[in-house]
Chain A
Amino acid sequence: MRLERILVAVNGKDSDVEVVKLACDLAKKPKAKIFVVYVIEVKRSLPLDAVIESEIRRAEETLARAEDIASNRDYEIETDLIQGRDAGPAIVDEAMEKEVDLILMGFTHKKRFGVFNLGRVIPYVLEEAPCRVLLYREPMGLR
């Protein structure tokens, strides 16, 4: 499997830590470049470039944490913050622009109305992403 460029989509959840570590491990041997992206979803009642302080703060913290994790593993990553109406298309668009070979995403086991649920973003990326997609699920019970 060719692996030159990896995109890691983070969202401020616990799974981010393991996903970034996993990306570093995967990237090390082929010396692949890692891009980490955080998408802020902006409601349609606001302009797309609206600056929402709390969201930006959370995103900055998440990306800074990703940088720290990578740094601890002696790896350099490139981080980006994107604002979009929906996270799914924003991640796929970023993957297209960066011409990545792999999108890496993490999620926590959750149920909705008693049924296992992947949410909105992951199914969209699985359906639309042109490249490989690797999902990391947190062990059950961890939040």
Chain B
Amino acid sequence: MRNDWQPKLGDKFVRSPRVKLHPLRRVLGIPGLFSTAYGDVGSSIYYALGLVALVALGATPIVLGIAGILFVFTALTYAEGTAMFPEAGGSASFARHGFNDLTGFIAGWALMFGYIVTISISAYTIPSYLGYFWEPLKASPIIHTGAAMGIVCILMMINVIGVRESSRLNFSLAILDIATQVLIIVLALLILFNPVVFWERITGYWPSTPNLIFGVAIAAIAFTGLETVSQMAEETRRPQVRAPRALVLMTIVVLVIFAGISVSAFSAMTPAELGSNWATDPVAGIAHNLSAAIVPNELTKGFSEPAHQIVVAYVLQGLRSVLPVLVALLAATILFIATNAGLLGISRLAFSLGRFQLIPAELSRVHPRSKTPYISIIVFTLIALVLQMPGFFGPDVFANLGGLYAFGSMLSFALAHLSILALRVRKPDIPRPFKLGWNVQIGQRDLPVTTILGLLGTTAIWIVVLIMQPYSRWVGLAWMAFGFGMYFLFRRLRRVSPSQTDGSPTGLTGDKE
């Protein structure tokens, strides 16, 4: 009997309570985890580069490098936390275990904000790439914003109805995405890269100090989706081992690709062009300039054999025509999937928070027919639409969304770092399948240096956003204030202490008929 059947990507199971408490049936492996997370993180390359260049100009590669270091620290912190608590919730889960429900709520609520902004910004970028086919999609603020809002509405309806998505398609797109980006990097390095020009573009367009500092904060958007691995951990077989490995693998790939694409962008155009004409579709800008630089007759001069010249010229001519179309279609598809991933992520997170009574369970209510958490999907989609609305009146919405993302995600990441440190102090004996090295001893406790640095970095960025970005400050603080009001009122009605420590989940949060 053949017995080589292996679960494919997306084949995940869990036993439900029949007679006794259900153990999880986890199937997802490292490739599955990696491709899902890369689909999220990798999509940010299609907008982060332009957004960062808009603020940091010539310092973009440096700023992305600094953010990259911070990303490594945060990924390591998540690796320890996820291995300890392989459950949906990410930083909210770490904070709940490390401190109490209130801290878990703050982390979760901030994370939700990050997800909402991810939905807004991913959808907002799609029309820019599709502008290759119809210019007004990119050029007209009204058509651009209207199209972005339409995309969010379509995804809302799809998710409320609960259309089945193909995990194989996601995996194939992640591979095609990496392959296309590697192709762009290789071609740009071969055809466009000039170290002198590259250096001149960095020094000649060096930003002001406030812009440099704010650029580091904005660069955090390059690493959206770090939470995904943590969220998927509960569906992973041997999450204690596989989640940290997937995080490390994803970190390496993302950093390499981001470095390569940054160099390609600076080889293809000036930082001013990148931050203006191509701010919302930077990879399309690279493809456009690369395509213009591919002159088959010039590039085939090195080949002595006429047959070789003809073949290479044919291939180059094909690349020249195909590359901009491929980038436009691929970027739009990947950003569409990333927007959808944001919607799925936030509804799962809402369900997880509702389970621990951190937000009202009504938000997680499941539709009796479609079996989807329709209330959370509709509510959070509407908020994402509201965040896109300023786009009708001007182009500032793009930078503002970047600031808002930094506000939510940095607060959430800072609390994740703080919680891992607190867990080292308060619960030193808890099993840690993945324990971070490079520790300093403070008192009787070993505290990881990377987590301390991560905490300092993310907190500093959050403060920078708070001080330098009035829009992010007020919108972000309003979001948190609304959340606090809801949390305390809800807890009071439920007669549960707001600062209860590590409460157990409520029995049911599903549909009620």
Contact = CB atoms under 8 A, between A and B. Distances in A.
B348 interface: yes
Contacts of B165: 44
Nearest to A79: B18
B111 to A, nearest CB: 15
Interface residues of A, number: 37
A63 B13 contact: no
Q: Main SS of chain A's interface residues?
A: mixed
B399 interface: no
A54 interface: yes
A82 B14 contact: yes
Interface residues of B, number: 47
A51 B371 CA distance: 11
Interface stretch (A68-76, A126-134, A135-143): A126-134
B16 A45 contact: no
A4 interface: no
Contacts of A46: 347-348, 351, 366, 371-373
A48 B509 contact: no
Contacts of A128: 5
A115 to B, nearest CB: 20
Contacts, number: 127
A25 to B, nearest CB: 23
Interface string B336-352: 00000001100110011
Nearest to B18: A81
A46 to B, nearest CB: 6
A8 interface: no
B10 A80 contact: no
A92 interface: yes
A104 interface: no
Contact of A89 (B3, B13, B24): B13
Contacts of A80: 15, 18
Nearest to B347: A45
Contact of A84 (B3, B8, B11, B343): B11
A130 B1 contact: yes
B348 A51 contact: no
Which of A44, A89, A131 has its CB near the most chain B CB atoms (within 10 A)?
Answer: A44
B12 A48 contact: yes
A43 B367 CA distance: 11
B27 interface: yes
B11 A93 contact: yes
A81 B14 CA distance: 9
B511 interface: yes
B443 interface: no
A10 to B, nearest CB: 13
A118 B179 CA distance: 37
A55 interface: yes
B2 interface: yes
B509 A51 contact: yes
A60 interface: yes
Which of B7, B13, B366, B372 has its CB near the most chain A CB atoms (within 10 A)?
Answer: B13
Contact of A45 (B1, B14, B159): B159
Contacts of A39: 13
Interface of B: 1-5, 7-8, 10-18, 22, 24-25, 27, 88, 159, 162, 165, 167, 234-235, 343-344, 347-348, 351-352, 366, 368, 370-373, 377, 507-513
Given A47-B352, A48-B24, A52-B366, 11 more contacts: A45-B344, A45-B372, A47-B234, A47-B348, A54-B368, A59-B16, A82-B15, A82-B16, A83-B15, A85-B10, A89-B7
Interface of A: 39-40, 42-56, 59-60, 63, 79-86, 89-90, 92-93, 96, 128-131
